[in-house]
């Protein structure tokens, strides 16, 4: 039974990664809406994903407002795929 990457084995972080796997970039507000999370929680979890090297977080502007966009890295993509494979061993898929 393989280990499940603890960085991905968290509902919110997994949801974020799942979105980013399909979308090539997404901003903070969008992720917050899609995941129905609080801003505080999302902020913390994006930090962890970023620190792990699974995503990049870029702060820019949309007009006058700040805009934080996220993208999955190659490392993140790989980790996600490995996580899915490991999980299959648990789910009998």
Partner DNA sequence: ATAAAGCGGTTTAAAATATAAACTAAAACT
Partner DNA sequence: AGTTTTAGTTTATATTTTAAACCGCTTTAT
- Min. distance of Cβ 74 from a copy of itself in angstroms? 18
CA-CA distances (angstroms) from residue 89 to 11, 26, 82?
Answer: 19, 30, 11
Smallest gap from Cβ 34 to DNA, in A, equals 13
Q: Cα-Cα-Cα-Cα dihedral of 87, 47, 37, 71, to 10°?
A: -70
Interface mask toward DNA for 15-54; x: CB under 7 A: ------------xxx-------xxxxxxxxxx-x------
**Shortest distance, CB of residue 39 to DNA, whole angstroms?**
4
């Amino acid at each position: 039974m393989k280990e499940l990457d603890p960085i991905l084995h968290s509902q919110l972080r997994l949801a974020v990664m799942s979105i980013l796997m399909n979308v090539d970039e997404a901003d903070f507000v969008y992720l917050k809406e899609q995941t129905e999370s609080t801003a505080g929680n999302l902020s913390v979890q994006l930090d962890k994903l970023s620190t792990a090297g699974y995503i990049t977080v870029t702060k820019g502007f949309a007009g006058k407002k700040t805009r934080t966009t996220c993208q999955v890295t190659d490392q993140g993509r790989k980790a996600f795929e490995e996580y899915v494979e490991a999980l299959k061993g648990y789910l009998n898929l």
